Structure 1
């Protein structure tokens, strides 16, 4: 049981660091982020919405991952967000000849393929968190059911 709690804490901590830095960086450089998003052939028409929705969502996910009661929801939203980011990068690599870049933090030192692998890793980390958190919750429920039957 302690291993599962340690792993969910570790995984949520990694995702919190990534999303917190990324969300704050996008808000800090909001105009630049919005400008890059507006030039994207896939999502450019929605740049006004995306430039706010993405960083705010990243920060909300951080809060959910930080609070153990909401960690499962945080992992689910992390998985969905990272899956969207990963699919977007995959699309851009496959179909867009001139790739814009608005990456910050560690990803500014990566090319698009490295960024794709990084995102796949974070997506799998979030999925692993979902699986471990699900198993941990099931174990907890089974233990409570056994305790209630004895009472």
Structure 2
């Protein structure tokens, strides 16, 4: 039981660091982040929404991960967001888009696209692991409480 709790705590900590770091980096260089969004292969009409939605979503996920009652929901939100980033990265690697600046925050922006893919896949896998462990942990608690 302790090992399961430790796995969840480590994954949550890594996700909190990742999302908090990238969100703050985007706000610190908000002008650069907005510029990068305008150079994405998506319509520029999405930029006013995405420039707020992406970092605020990352901060919302961080807040959800911090609290036990919202942790599982935040883990699912993390999985969805990281999966979207991973799919986008894979599309970049398959040359689906003509041009692709990275609008990631901080030093993550310096990764190559193959490194981005590995980085994103790592977070997808550990998030899936945390969700699975959390579900098993929750069902064990329910069973234990019913037996009492």
> Scaled by the length of structure 2, what TM-score is found?
0.92
> 1:99, 1:70 → 2: CA distance?
34
Q: Which residue is equivalent to 1:65?
A: 65
Moved more, 90-99 or 54-63: 90-99
> 2:62, 2:115 → 1: CA distance?
24
Q: Which residue is equivalent to 1:48?
A: 48
The Cα of 1:25 is off from its aligned counterpart by 0.7
Across the aligned residues of Structure 1 and Structure 2, the Cα RMSD in angstroms comes to 1.4
Which string of whole-angstrom CA distances, capped at 9 and with x for unpartnered residues, describes residues 34-82 of structure 1? 1111111135431111110010010111111111221111110000000
Residue 130 (structure 2) pairs with residue 129 (structure 1): yes
The Cα of 1:85 is off from its aligned counterpart by 0.7
Q: Which residue is equivalent to 1:75?
A: 75
In structure 2, runs of 5+ residues without a counterpart are none
- Matched residue count: 147
> Conserved in 2, the CA contact under 8 Å of 1:93 and 1:99?
no
The Cα of 1:104 is off from its aligned counterpart by 3.4
- Higher Cα Rg, which structure: 1
Residue 125 (structure 2) pairs with residue 140 (structure 1): no
> Scaled by the length of structure 1, what TM-score is found?
0.91
